[in-house]
């Protein structure tokens, strides 16, 4: 097969603690060598001034297919992923039908292969039909390729079921991912409960609803030895509980989204449904705690929680509009512009949280540029300036809170299995 | 002819630049005072027996009510007719909303029929803002969920100003279901901007301590604040907006917060008793308080028409 040399780039690979300018050689779809010369390659890609890193992984994506193809398909979602620099995405099981059987998992893998964009992994349901009653056939789903288990938007309310899920998933060394929300505390809520919700007369979703469930989940993970992954963390107290649990050896990891790192409930004053998501945008003090937790390693992963909704569903009265925003095509730019540029995070740390960390949590053979690994590579131009224009999105939906943002830094080439799948401009 | 009316009103005020009235939070003290001053003139004209002050002749005002209303809707309709405008009434019950037509589409359709102003009431906070962003005519918020009800706030403040001669320096208590009250929110913004001291009082499940962050006093004890108050605005308990009962029983609520003869005996002698909407007699206040000498409930209603005439004229009468 062919070979490709990525020349003169700053290779940042946290899995190997590497950060240096070198020539990276790809051959036959795998990482072949470092410090290679142009003569060794059929083709050369000049990456001078660019960052070359393991292909980015987004471990929290909603692809909507099967069931809601009007919002997104596996094909459009995977194309959006490439444009955002992601070579692997992990899709949540809240499809219709949900990913609670081998058949649905196989269908998604089939559609992904047909689309032939990026790697698509699936999370399986914890419970049959995401009803929170009986365990789904987790063992069969593992055989069908499920890399973790969650009931996603339906938090596992019954603590006994969660306990059993931890115990059962431990047998397969798979994590249980939970959306931390006590629904009784958020009934009717559309935004964070605070001064802004009080002023707007909107029903709030208190941060306690997340904290209560994180506390319970940690206790059960600790009691069972199971692996807990807290999805889209948003609260300062939640951060602190996870920090302490990690310190005493509980097997807990967590993720945060770009929007929860950069926006607050103040944005809701515009009544724009593109600021409506669950968990909600919270107050400044929470955002600061999340950034500190990214810095000290308490938060392992940055994930988009890409949640497409068609325009006609999303642009409604604020109580009728569905929760969720898309993020595949903006995550890297927002992280670069709002966290790396002001010095809150450095490139190696940010890349670690979008490559090797999610790969390790889910046991993916990805997230590294070690010799012999799959040649999934993202080339980032940290100086590229661009404006978020939802009309240009490859995603089928355009429900982004970042429309019009001027960003600095983006993927300029996305390489999957040695093949250049996307270039910018 | 219309120039005579304009002269009585002192001309179209230069301070007024707005096309929509979405809430009192957005307005300056100067703008609020402007509306109130014009409302006083309209009220005077009505008192002189004028039934038609055709400053909006040839224009059309649409009442777009997605939530039930009796007095606000009637008041706006009357105000528009007194100004010589045509009034179109549209309510969700008889509309095509049951067919899934969106709020924006409905308003755009009405606009296409040629209207100058939409008076909108909706159960959802921000619905009037959504309309204002999507249609070209003036939008007047006649109550959006628990968010704002600016003309109610204005007429409450007009009533206080009329009966007490001023607003600045007065202590005004809003009592009851603050959490679900758009009237409370509009009153808070308007009263604070005009220099009143505002107290919110009611059961702690309905009165957030966060109001203090806006410079509002928070109290859970009506008997304690009663002797200090110049005005009591008794808000209706909005059972229909509560998903779970925020207090043990209506009986207990009335025991702690209903204005009755015993409590009236402990107020300042010239206290004003106001109530914004349909009252639950025996819950927020007893009948003798509602109908008593300190009650300003009927002047509120009279002022409502004048305030809405002022608002309609300022928003739709510029051209």
**Among B127, B211, B213, beta carbon nearest to A317:** B127
Tell me what pLDDT residue B228 has.
97
Helical H segments across A186-323, by residue range: 195-200, 207-224, 236-247, 258-262, 284-295, 311-314
Beta bridge partners of A342: none
| B236 pLDDT above the threshold of 90 | no
Query: SS3 of B281, please?
Result: strand
Identify which of B102, B129, B146 has the shortest CB distance to residue A201. Answer: B146
Half-sphere exposure of B62 (CA within 13 A, CB side): 22
**This prediction's pTM:** 0.93
Cβ neighbours of residue A12 under 8 Å, at least 6 residues apart? A18, A19, A51, A52, A53, A347, A348, A351
pLDDT at A384: 98
Exposed e or buried b per residue across B6-34, where buried means at least 16 C-beta atoms within 10 angstroms of its C-beta: eeebeeebeebeeebbbbbbebeeebbbb
Residues B195 and B260 in one domain: yes
| Alpha carbons within 13 A on the beta-carbon side of A148 | 28
Q: Which residue has the higher pLDDT, A362 or B103?
A: A362
What range defines the domain where residue B6 resides?
Answer: 2-149+301-316
* B78 and B187 housed in the same domain: no
| Cα dist from B158 to A121, B51, B303, B305, whole Å | 64, 21, 7, 11
Instruction: Examine the pLDDT at B138 and tell me if it is beyond 60.
Output: yes
From B166, B170, B163, B128, select the one nearest B149 (Cα to Cα).
Answer: B128
Answer yes or no: is pLDDT of B39 > 90: yes
Active-site option among A305, A374, A376, A381: A305
Query: Domains (ranges, CATH) in chain A?
Result: 3-51+374-423 (2.30.40.10), 56-362 (3.20.20.140)
What whole-number distance in Å separates Cα of residue A107 and Cα of residue A73? 12
Shared-domain flag, residues B7 and B145: yes
- Is the pLDDT higher at A400 or at B136? A400
What local confidence, expressed as pLDDT, does residue A317 receive? 87
Residues B103, A317: C-beta atoms closer than 8 Å: yes
d(CA A193, CA A278): 12
pLDDT at residue B84, as a whole number: 96
B21 plus B116 within the same structural domain: yes
Task: Give the number of beta-carbon pairs within 8 Å between A and B.
Answer: 52
Residue B1 pLDDT greater than 60, yes or no? no
pLDDT of residue B245: 85
Q: Specify whether B185 is located in the same domain as B258.
A: yes
Domains in chain B: how many in total?
A: 2
Tell the burial category of B98 from Cβ atoms under 10 Å away from its Cβ (0-12, 13-18, 19+).
exposed
Give the span between the Cα atoms of B319 and A203, in whole angstroms.
40
pLDDT of residue A248: 96
Q: What per-residue confidence (pLDDT) applies to A241?
A: 98
| pLDDT-based confidence at residue B217 (cuts at 50, 70, 90) | very high
Note the pLDDT tens digit of each residue in B237-282.
887 777 778 898 889 999 999 999 999 999 999 999 999 877 888 8
- ipTM (interface pTM): 0.93
Minimum distance, in Å, between the CA of residue B159 and any CA atom of chain A: 24
* Residue B167 belongs to domain with CATH number: 3.40.50.1370
B28 close to A (CB below 8 A): no
For all residues of chain B together, what is the average pLDDT?
Answer: 92
pLDDT of residue B98: 53
Query: Residue A279, preceding bond cis, omega within 30 degrees?
Result: yes
Q: b/e per residue, A71-85, with b = 16+ CB within 10 A?
A: bbbbbbbbbbbbbbb
Taking the C-alpha atoms of residue A158 and residue A137, their distance in angstroms, rounded to an integer, is 18
pLDDT at B99 over 70: no
For the segment A94-109, the average pLDDT, to the nearest whole number, is 97
Q: Mind listing the pLDDT tens digit for each residue in A207-231? A: 999 999 999 999 999 999 999 999 9
At residue A175, the pLDDT reads 98
CA distance B150 to B185: 9
Q: For residue A382, count other CB atoms closer than 10 A to its CB.
A: 15
Which chain A residues contact residue B208 at CB under 8 A?
198
Cβ atoms within 10 A of the Cβ of B101, count? 12
Nearest to B126 among A187, A198, A271 (CB): A271
Nearest by CB: B124 against A198, A312, A319: A319
Q: What is the pLDDT of residues A163-184, one digit of tens each?
A: 999 999 999 999 999 999 999 9
Quote the mean pLDDT of chain A.
97
Look at A201 and B185 and tell me if their CB atoms are within 8 Å. Answer: yes
Residues of B in contact with A201 (CB under 8 A): 125, 144-148, 180, 182, 185
Q: What is the pLDDT of residues A127-152, one digit of tens each?
A: 999 999 999 999 999 999 999 999 99
The answer on B212 and B136 residing in a single domain is no
Please tell me whether residues B155 and B295 are part of one structural domain: yes
Element (H, E) at A13: strand A3-13
Lookup result for tokens 């240096």: A20
Q: How confident is the model at residue A316 (pLDDT cuts 50, 70, 90)?
A: confident
Phi first, then psi: what are they for A143, rounded to 5°? -60, -30
Cα–Cα dist A57/A47, whole Å? 21
Q: Do B42 and B164 sit in the same domain of this protein?
A: no
Are B53 and B129 part of one and the same domain? yes
CA-nearest residue of chain B to A320?
A: B124
- Interface mutation target, options B67, B105, B126, chain A, most CBs of A under 10 Å: B126
Question: How does residue B108 score in pLDDT terms, banded at 50, 70 and 90?
Answer: confident
Q: Are residues B42 and B66 in the same domain?
A: yes
- Do A187 and B243 lie within an 8 Å CB cutoff? yes
Report how far residue A377's alpha carbon sits from residue A13's, in angstroms, rounded to the nearest whole number: 10
- The count of residues in chain B is 319
- Residue A197 phi, psi dihedral angles, 5° rounding: -65, -35
In the block, residue with structure tokens 């898309």: A326
Do B204 and B266 belong together in one domain? Answer: yes
Residues 6+ positions from B59 with CB-CB distance below 8 Å: B84, B85, B86, B116, B117, B316, B317
Q: What does A38-89 look like in DSSP terms, one character per residue?
A: GGG-SEEEE-TTSEEEEPEEEEEE---TTT-TTT--HHHHHHHHHHTTEEEE
Token look-up 């512009």 returns: A337
| pLDDT of residue B232 exceeding 90 | yes
Asked which of A84-93, B21-30, B284-293 is least confident by mean pLDDT, the reply is B284-293
Same domain as B312, residue B291: no
């Amino acid at each position: 097969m062919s070979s490709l040399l990525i020349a003169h780039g700053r290779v940042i690979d946290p899995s190997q603690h590497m950060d240096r300018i070198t020539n990276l050689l790809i051959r036959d779809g795998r990482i072949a060598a470092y410090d290679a010369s142009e003569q060794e390659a059929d083709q050369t890609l000049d990456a001078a001034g660019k960052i070359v890193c393991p292909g980015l992984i987004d471990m929290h994506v909603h692809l909507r297919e099967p069931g809601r193809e009007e919002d997104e398909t596996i094909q459009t979602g995977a194309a959006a992923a490439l444009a955002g620099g992601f070579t692997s995405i992990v899709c949540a099981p809240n499809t219709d039908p949900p990913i609670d059987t081998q058949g649905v998992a196989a269908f998604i893998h089939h559609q992904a292969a047909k689309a032939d964009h990026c790697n698509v992994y699936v999370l399986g349901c914890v419970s049959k039909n995401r009803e929170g009653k009986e365990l789904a056939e987790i063992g069969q789903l593992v055989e069908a390729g499920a890399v973790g288990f969650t009931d996603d938007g339906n938090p596992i309310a019954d603590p006994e079921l969660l306990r059993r899920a931890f115990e059962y998933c431990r047998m397969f060394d798979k994590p249980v991912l939970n959306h931390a929300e006590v629904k009784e505390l958020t009934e009717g809520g559309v935004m964070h409960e605070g001064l802004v919700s009080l002023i707007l007369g909107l029903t709030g979703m208190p941060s306690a609803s997340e904290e209560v469930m994180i506390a319970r989940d940690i206790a059960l993970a600790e009691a069972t030895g199971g692996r807990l992954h807290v999805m889209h963390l948003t609260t300062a107290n939640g951060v602190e509980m996870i920090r302490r649990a990690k310190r005493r050896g509980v097997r807990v990891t967590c993720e945060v989204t770009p929007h929860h790192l950069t926006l607050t409930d103040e944005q809701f004053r515009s009544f724009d449904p593109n600021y409506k998501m669950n968990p909600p945008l919270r107050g400044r003090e929470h955002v600061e705690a999340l950034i500190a937790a990214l810095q000290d390693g308490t938060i392992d992963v940055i994930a988009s929680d890409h949640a497409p909704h068609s325009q006609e569903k999303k642009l409604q009265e604020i109580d009728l509009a569905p929760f969720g925003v898309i993020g595949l095509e903006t995550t890297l730019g927002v992280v670069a512009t709002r966290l790396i540029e002001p010095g809150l995070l450095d490139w190696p740390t940010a890349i670690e949280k979008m490559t090797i960390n999610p790969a390790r949590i889910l046991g993916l053979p990805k997230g590294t540029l070690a010799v012999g690994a799959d040649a999934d590579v993202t080339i980032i131009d940290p100086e590229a300036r661009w404006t978020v224009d939802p009309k240009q999105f490859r995603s089928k939906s355009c429900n982004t809170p970042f429309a019009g943002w001027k960003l600095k830094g983006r993927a300029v080439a996305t390489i999957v299995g040695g093949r250049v799948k996307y270039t910018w401009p | 002819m219309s120039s005579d009316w304009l002269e009585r009103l002192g001309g179209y005020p230069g301070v007024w630049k707005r096309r929509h009235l979405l809430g009192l939070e957005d307005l300056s003290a100067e703008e609020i005072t402007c509306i109130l001053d014009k409302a006083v003139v309209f009220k005077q004209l009505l008192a002189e027996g004028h039934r038609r002050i055709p400053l909006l002749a040839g224009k059309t005002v649409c009442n777009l009510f997605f939530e039930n209303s009796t007095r606000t809707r009637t008041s706006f309709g009357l105000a528009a007719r007194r100004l010589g405008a045509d009034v179109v009434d549209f309510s969700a019950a008889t509309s095509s909303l049951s067919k899934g037509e969106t709020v924006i589409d409905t308003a755009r359709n009405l606009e296409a029929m040629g209207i100058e102003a939409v008076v909108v009431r909706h159960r959802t906070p921000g619905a009037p803002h959504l309309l204002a962003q999507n249609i070209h005519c003036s939008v007047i918020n006649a109550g959006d969920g628990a968010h704002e009800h600016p003309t109610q706030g204005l007429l409450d403040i007009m009533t206080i100003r009329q009966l007490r001669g001023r607003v600045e320096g007065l202590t005004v208590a809003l009592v009851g279901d603050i959490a679900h009250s758009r009237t409370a929110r509009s009153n808070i913004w308007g009263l604070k901007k005009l220099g009143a001291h505002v107290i919110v009082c009611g059961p702690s499940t309905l009165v957030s301590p966060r109001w203090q962050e806006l410079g509002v006093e928070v109290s859970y004890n009506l008997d304690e604040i009663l002797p200090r108050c110049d005005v009591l605005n008794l808000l209706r308990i909005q059972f229909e907006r509560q998903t779970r009962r925020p207090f043990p029983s209506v009986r207990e609520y009335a025991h702690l917060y209903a204005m009755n003869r015993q409590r009236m005996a402990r107020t300042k002698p010239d206290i004003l008793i106001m109530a914004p909407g349909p009252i639950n007699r025996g819950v927020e206040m007893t009948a003798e308080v509602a109908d008593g000498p300190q009650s300003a409930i009927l002047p509120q209603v009279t002022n409502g028409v004048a305030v809405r005439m002022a608002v309609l004229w300022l928003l739709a009468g510029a051209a």
